[in-house]
Amino acid sequence: MSALERFAVNAAEKLEPVRRIAVLGAPINVGASQRGTLMGPAALRTAGLLALLESLGFGLTDHGDLTVAEMPDLADPPPVNTNHYREIQRWTRALSRQGYELARSGAIPIFLGGDHSLSMGSVNAVSRHWQEVGRELFVLWLDAHADYNTPSTTPTANMHGMAAAFLCGEGGLDSLLGNEPRASISPDRLKLFGTRSIDKLEQDLLRARRVSVAEMREIDEFGVGVLIRRFIEHVRARDGVLHVSFDVYFLDPAVAPGVGTTVPGGATYREAHLIMELLHESGLVGSVDIVELNPFLDERGRTARTAVELIGSLFGQQITNRGSPWPSAAASAVCYPRLSRSGGPSRRSCKAQTALSASPPERRSGLVRRLVRARNDPGKTSMPEPEPDRPRTGSRLE
């Protein structure tokens, strides 16, 4: 390498420091009734997660899988309705401690599960770090389930269904962290997205806490693009940082069959990619969970490969390098196009743009007037505000 080339490389490194990711596996297997998630971290690595992240320009450190075999048990009495409480307590304490150190290092922590009880430790860890920095942590919960049960509301006693409630400071698991600091977030900083199965008492608690829920009815009506952008703008307006807790239950079973108990009606492959692409373009994501992958129930690694592809989109993998962070910005300068389910312009909006460009000059002025009138009177073309969140009641018999 010549002196000139070496100077150019050094200058580029100073201008654009290498972004760092820290990967930590947490093979938790006892938070759910269906066994197999302990193989999740290995499956994600085998499916090429680490190589993909490195190919996107990240400096990556794989810290291996966490182990709790030698961690001593605490003496607090286990609460009622908490299956495998003692083992999950060990995992939560270890994850909170190790995750906090990873977040403090300046890297983006990615936690590989493992069932969703993992988030009791991972979210507590990064929340503690951001509290010290002085910024609010918001959590996007991509999951079919709300996971907002407590020991007093759960119908199954499975602790992966209590993770979101715990991170929001709900009672019942007050000694779970032992001497580790608890850094709860307020319920208004939790966004449940893609929810389609909620227990009755869990639903009552969500309403009492006014947790924001984007259930599948709302997604069908408004599209994932509209709803995710609203949430991103909400986080940005408060100078927040975003933790994405990605449960593969969020996806439709036709896309991701490798889960314990399938729940029909989940996100499609393209909807999920659009969500991840918009989250990447926001620049707000500071940490990630990937949970509930069960390779024992998968079809030749199909779900693991899908999860890896989605994480690729979350960290910048694109078909083309788009200049604008919001692809629809140029179109909205002319009018406010109707949005399709995918979040992009609908066929009708595209037809209007095509008609404008293809029409003869003598007709173009009339089309322009109609488009400008639509722009100046957005009430006729913009989408209605969604109704208040109405999560559906379902059963979580796992």
Neighbours of 357 (CB within 10 A): 8
Q: How buried is 356 (Cβ within 10 angstroms: 0-12 exposed, 13-18 middle, 19+ buried)?
A: middle
User: Considering the domain boundaries, does residue 107 fall inside one?
Assistant: yes
Could you tell me where the DSSP H helices lie in 134-264?
163-167, 200-209, 216-222, 224-237
Same domain, residue pair 14 and 161: yes
Please name which of 239, 235, 271, 240 lies closest in space to residue 255, comparing C-alpha atoms: 271
Q: pLDDT class for 271, splitting at 50, 70, 90?
A: very high
- On the question of a cis peptide bond just before residue 114, with omega within 30 degrees of 0, the verdict is yes
Confidence of residue 371 (pLDDT cuts 50, 70, 90): very low
Statement: residue 273 has pLDDT above 70: yes
The mean per-residue pLDDT over the stretch 197-203 comes to 96
Same-domain check for residues 239 and 364? no
Kindly report, residue by residue over 259-270, the tens digit of the pLDDT: 998 899 999 999
| Together in a domain, 164 and 310 | yes
Residue 247: CB partners within 8 Å, gap ≥ 6? 116, 141, 142, 143, 144, 145, 289, 291, 292
Token look-up 């680490």 returns: 50
* 254 Cβ contact list (under 8 Å, min separation 6): none
d(CA 290, CA 247): 6
- 21 and 98 in a single domain? The answer is yes
> pLDDT tens for residues 175-188?
999 999 999 999 99
> How much is the CA Rg of the chain, to the nearest whole Å?
23
Neighbours of 197 (CB within 10 A): 24
β partners of residue 195:
215
Pick 91 or 356 by higher pLDDT.
91
CA distances from 8 to 20, 54, 55, 218, 368 (A): 22, 22, 21, 50, 49
Exposure class string for 96-119: b at 16+ Cβ within 10 A, else e = bbbbbebbeeebbbbbbbbbbbbb
pLDDT value of residue 1 = 59
* Total domains present in the chain: 2
Overall average pLDDT of the 115-139 stretch: 98
- The domain of 95 spans 3-314
> Residue 114: inside a domain, yes or no?
yes
Q: What is the chain's percent helix, strand, coil content, to nearest 5?
A: 45, 15, 40
pLDDT value at residue 8: 53
61 and 96, same domain (yes or no): yes
Do 219 and 75 have their domain in common? yes
Q: 270: domain CATH number?
A: 3.40.800.10
Structure confidence at residue 2 (pLDDT): 65
Answer yes or no: do 201 and 296 share one domain: yes
Residues 217 and 109 in one domain: yes
pLDDT at 261: 83
pLDDT, the chain, mean: 84
Q: Report yes or no on 389 lying in a domain.
A: no
% of residues, the chain, pLDDT over 70: 76
227 and 340 housed in the same domain: no
Please report which confidence band the pLDDT of residue 318 belongs to, taking 50, 70 and 90 as the band edges: confident
Which segment of 173-182, 227-236, 271-280, 381-390 scores lowest on mean pLDDT? 381-390
In a 10 Å sphere around its CB, with 0-12 CB exposed, 13-18 middle and 19+ buried, how is residue 14 labelled?
A: exposed
Q: What are the CB-based long-range contacts (under 8 Å, 24+) for 71-77?
A: 74/175, 74/178, 76/175, 76/178
What is the per-residue pLDDT across 201-256, written as a single tens digit (0 to 9) for each? Answer: 999 999 999 999 999 999 999 999 999 999 999 999 999 999 999 999 999 999 99
Same domain, 38 and 183: yes
What is 349-369 written as a DSSP string?
Answer: HHHHHHHHHHS-HHHHHHHHH
Does 327 score more than 60 pLDDT? no
Residues 226, 107 share a domain: yes
pLDDT(12) > 60: no
Q: Is residue 259 part of a domain?
A: yes
